[in-house]
């Protein structure tokens, strides 16, 4: 086969795992639960009079589920392929694959498609459920075909992006961060085109298209929303293509081919990296020089062999002592914190991530400044009925990507220690659990200080320009501080309780993403089907219970405790209450509930960790841990 034995093996082994069936069952059940929740929200607050009401329900439900599925697909496809390749690098097995008879295309395409196998199966598993929406009315089979074509092609493109970045970069944190930043830049660039903010850069639109049409041809979110509409709003202006959705499919396929072609051409240039090559070069030269010096000393005439050996050892000891004294650096009382903050523990190329992130901050600041100049940000303050302020369109993606980067560094700070076999050494030293946990926690926040401070500065700038009042500034800043501490602790917690690095990274990042997506989904359901936010607790009980169960399975089932179990089920309920009070414009209650629930969850994960080294090392139960 053209894609090689890597994918063939994965396709043969994956159906033998029980998780393969569990994932798609849970995924379809979650979508069905969303459908039932939407129906209960509409049926409990409105009177369904005729077939037209049913058709409107089907159309709105389809327009909600389609972008939710696409968001999940983009996240899972990109990070699944990126983490799969990064895991091969961490375990030093990618070099072994490069030494086999696999050619470049078999290695790149096989690994990328093998990592996307679960994602593609989830898309196919959801197809019958989406087809059932046609029974409500308001949705045609052609819409479903368009939506799934866009979703499928986007999954391949996102997976190719993650695979290419993983093959290029050496560290797992660098790969995950650049993947998240690239996706945000991709979507943000398209939104800037739609807003007409980049006409000075790209000049006249290609083929005479309007900005909205070009943005739809480039953005997967806009393409799937256009495909989900019963009557597309964009004009037919693309000639033979006739539809911007087809143009998006062509561009996405071309991007996929370009990314994979680049990876196939340069996979053996990028790997092994220069850092891996340096591990061999200086050591080999040092060893050779030592043997040469020993040979020269042994050949000196007139000196006995024993005296020569003794003098040789003393000269080596003196030279080593002089070198250590000249390069000596004072290590702090907490060596973990010293290493995290005073050395390049995550590679020197972390500077690239900081530069890319600051470019994203600059783009968000420009968008926010434009909203302020047009008085869009200021007008939101006096609009009691406004659900999502215009300023949130510029700041919310920045908040999300900063939390994802902080969480990615936190979880990889533990998984890299385990994969590098250094965690075993740390466990037998005199390091206390508090020194290790707080060293990692404060070290992660220090390395990602730009990701934490920049969103707060933009929030302060919005307040300074009268875009929000002082009370909201205080609530938002303190709430962000609580959430940054939560995502950092969550990453360290997942890294400690999961022996598999890929599972730990997936659970940690997936929890952050699902919490964010769950909030957006609840808001969309509430706004789309009802304006009576007081009476929507009962329809959302199943959604809340499912979220609590999922959170408990993610963070609590491997080391169960009453505090973690309580936190897992309190967080979804508190989040729902915070959403309803936010829509009712009760900001103080939103802050208090959010700070208490996520702060309690943070301490529930942190306190057991600082009292004992409860780290999953992947040992079987039959082995002696002593």
Mean pLDDT within 104-131: 93
**Residue 509: band (very low, low, confident or very high) from pLDDT cuts 50, 70, 90:** very high
* Burial of 190 (C-beta count, 10 Å sphere; 0-12/13-18/19+): buried
Q: How many percent of the chain have pLDDT more than 90?
A: 38
Mean pLDDT within 493-519: 89
User: In this predicted structure, what is the pLDDT of residue 263?
Assistant: 94
pLDDT per position as a tens digit, 593-612: 999 999 999 999 998 888 77
User: In this predicted structure, what is the pLDDT of residue 276?
Assistant: 57
The residues, any chain, with a CB within 8 Å of residue 622's CB and separated by 6 or more, are none
Distance CA 86, CA 362 (A): 29
Q: Tokens representing 580?
A: 């309803």
Q: How many CB atoms lie within 10 A of CB 27?
A: 20
In which residue are the tokens 């990109």 written? 78
User: In this predicted structure, what is the pLDDT of residue 318?
Assistant: 52
Kindly report the CA angle at 208 between 205 and 212, in degrees rounded to 5? Answer: 65
Distance CA 235, CA 219 (A): 17
Task: Check pLDDT > 90 for residue 361.
Answer: yes
User: In this predicted structure, what is the pLDDT of residue 524?
Assistant: 82
Are 564 and 493 within 8 A, CB to CB? no
In which residue are the tokens 């960790």 written? 609
User: In this predicted structure, what is the pLDDT of residue 391?
Assistant: 74
Q: How many percent of the chain have pLDDT more than 70?
A: 80
Please report how many Cα atoms fall inside a 13 Å half-sphere around the Cα of residue 330, on the Cβ side. 2
Q: Tokens representing 384?
A: 């009691």
Q: Tokens representing 592?
A: 């208090």
Are 174 and 350 within 8 A, CB to CB? yes
Mean pLDDT within 15-20: 86
Task: Return mean pLDDT, the chain.
Answer: 81
**Residue 396: band (very low, low, confident or very high) from pLDDT cuts 50, 70, 90:** confident
User: In this predicted structure, what is the pLDDT of residue 303?
Assistant: 46
pTM of the model: 0.84
pLDDT per position as a tens digit, 281-334: 544 444 444 334 434 434 444 445 445 555 544 554 455 455 545 556 677 888
Distance CA 134, CA 136 (A): 5
User: In this predicted structure, what is the pLDDT of residue 311?
Assistant: 52
Q: What is the 3-state secondary structure (H, E, C) of 204-225?
A: CCHHHCCHHHHHHHHCHHHHHH
Distance CA 489, CA 475 (A): 21
| 41 vs 439, residue with greater confidence | 439
pLDDT per position as a tens digit, 527-545: 777 666 556 777 788 888 8
Taking the alpha carbons of 445, 450, 453, 459 in that order, is the dihedral positive or negative?
A: negative
User: In this predicted structure, what is the pLDDT of residue 196?
Assistant: 73
Q: In the chain, what's the furthest Cα-to-Cα distance?
A: 112
Poorest-pLDDT segment among 123-137, 418-432, 438-452? 418-432
The residues, any chain, with a CB within 8 Å of residue 530's CB and separated by 6 or more, are 41, 42, 44, 45, 46, 536
Poorest-pLDDT segment among 12-26, 498-512, 530-544, 559-573? 530-544
* Burial of 465 (C-beta count, 10 Å sphere; 0-12/13-18/19+): middle
DSSP state of 331: P
Distances (CA, A) of 238 to 223, 228, 252, 253, 480: 15, 19, 17, 18, 44
**Residue 626: band (very low, low, confident or very high) from pLDDT cuts 50, 70, 90:** very low
The residues, any chain, with a CB within 8 Å of residue 603's CB and separated by 6 or more, are 563
**Residue 53: band (very low, low, confident or very high) from pLDDT cuts 50, 70, 90:** confident
Poorest-pLDDT segment among 374-388, 495-509, 552-566? 374-388
Mean pLDDT within 15-37: 89
Are 574 and 594 within 8 A, CB to CB? yes
DSSP state of 533: G
Least Cα distance to 385 among 183, 229, 527 occurs for 527
| 590 vs 384, residue with greater confidence | 590
Task: Check pLDDT > 80 for residue 498.
Answer: yes
Least Cα distance to 515 among 565, 468, 567, 557 occurs for 567
Distance CA 282, CA 286 (A): 6
User: In this predicted structure, what is the pLDDT of residue 523?
Assistant: 82
pLDDT per position as a tens digit, 541-568: 888 888 899 999 999 887 788 999 999 9
Poorest-pLDDT segment among 61-75, 257-271, 372-386? 372-386
In which residue are the tokens 């769950």 written? 518
Q: How many CB atoms lie within 10 A of CB 16?
A: 7
**DSSP, residue by residue, 136-193:** GSS--HHHHHHHHHHHHHHHHHHHHHHHHHHHH-SSHHHHHHHHHHHHHHHHHHHHHH
Question: Rounded to 5 degrees, what are φ and ψ at 166?
Answer: -70, -40
The residues, any chain, with a CB within 8 Å of residue 102's CB and separated by 6 or more, are 4, 5, 6, 110
Distances (CA, A) of 143 to 19, 24, 38, 236, 301: 31, 23, 20, 17, 91
């Amino acid at each position: 086969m053209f894609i090689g034995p890597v994918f063939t093996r994965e396709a043969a082994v994956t159906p033998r795992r029980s998780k393969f069936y569990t994932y798609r069952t849970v995924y379809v059940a979650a979508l069905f639960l969303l459908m039932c929740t939407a129906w209960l929200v509409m049926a409990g607050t409105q009177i369904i009079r005729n077939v037209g009401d049913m058709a409107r329900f089907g159309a709105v439900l389809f327009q909600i589920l389609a972008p939710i599925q696409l968001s999940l697909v983009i996240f899972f496809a990109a990070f699944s392929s990126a983490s799969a390749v990064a895991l091969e690098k961490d375990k030093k097995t990618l070099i072994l694959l490069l030494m086999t008879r696999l050619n470049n295309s078999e290695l790149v395409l096989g690994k990328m498609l093998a990592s996307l196998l679960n994602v593609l199966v989830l898309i196919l598993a959801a197809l019958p459920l989406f087809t059932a929406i046609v029974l409500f009315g308001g949705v045609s089979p052609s819409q479903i075909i368009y939506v799934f074509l866009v979703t499928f092609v986007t999954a391949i493109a996102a997976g190719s992006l993650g695979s290419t970045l993983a093959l290029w970069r050496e560290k797992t944190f660098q790969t995950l961060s650049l993947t998240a930043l690239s996706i945000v830049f991709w979507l943000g660039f398209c939104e800037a085109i739609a807003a007409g903010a980049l006409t000075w850069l790209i000049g006249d639109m290609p083929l005479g298209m309007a900005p909205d049409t070009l943005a739809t041809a480039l953005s997967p979110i806009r393409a799937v929303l256009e495909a989900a509409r019963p009557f597309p709003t964009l004009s037919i202006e693309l000639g033979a293509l006739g539809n911007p959705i087809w143009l998006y499919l062509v561009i996405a396929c071309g991007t996929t081919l370009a990314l994979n072609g680049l990876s196939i051409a340069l996979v053996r240039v990028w790997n092994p990296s220069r850092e891996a090559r340096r591990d061999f070069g200086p050591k080999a030269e040092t060893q050779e020089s030592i043997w040469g010096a020993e040979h020269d000393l042994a050949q000196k005439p007139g000196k006995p062999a024993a005296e020569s050996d003794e003098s040789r050892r003393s000269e080596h000891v003196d030279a080593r002592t002089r070198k250590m004294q000249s390069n000596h650096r004072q290590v702090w009382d907490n060596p973990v914190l010293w290493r995290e903050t005073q050395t390049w523990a995550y590679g020197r190329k972390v500077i690239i991530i900081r530069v890319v992130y600051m470019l994203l901050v600059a783009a968000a600041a420009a968008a926010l400044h434009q909203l302020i100049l047009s008085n869009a940000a200021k007008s939101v303050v006096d609009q009691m009925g406004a659900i999502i302020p215009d300023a949130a369109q510029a700041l919310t993606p920045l908040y999300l990507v900063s939390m994802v980067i902080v969480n990615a560094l936190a979880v990889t700070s533990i998984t890299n220690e385990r994969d590098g076999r250094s965690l075993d050494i740390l466990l037998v030293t005199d390091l206390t659990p508090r020194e290790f946990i707080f060293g990692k926690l404060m070290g992660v926040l220090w390395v990602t200080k730009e990701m934490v401070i920049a969103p707060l500065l933009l929030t302060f700038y919005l307040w300074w320009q009268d875009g929000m009042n002082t009370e909201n500034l205080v609530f938002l800043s303190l709430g962000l501080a609580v959430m940054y501490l939560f995502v950092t602790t969550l990453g360290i917690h997942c890294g400690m309780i999961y022996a598999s690095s890929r599972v730990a990274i997936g659970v940690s990042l997936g929890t952050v993403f699902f919490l964010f997506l769950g909030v957006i989904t609840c808001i969309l359901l509430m706004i789309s089907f009802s304006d009576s936010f007081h009476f929507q607790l009962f329809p959302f009980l199943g959604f809340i219970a499912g979220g609590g169960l999922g959170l408990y399975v993610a963070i609590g089932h491997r080391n169960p405790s009453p505090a973690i179990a309580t936190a897992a089920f309190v967080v979804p309920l508190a989040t729902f209450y915070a959403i309803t009070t936010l829509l009712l414009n009760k900001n103080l209650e939103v802050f208090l509930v959010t700070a208490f629930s996520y702060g309690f969850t943070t301490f529930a994960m942190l306190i057991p960790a600082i009292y004992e080294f409860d780290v999953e090392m992947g040992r079987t139960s039959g082995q002696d841990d002593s």
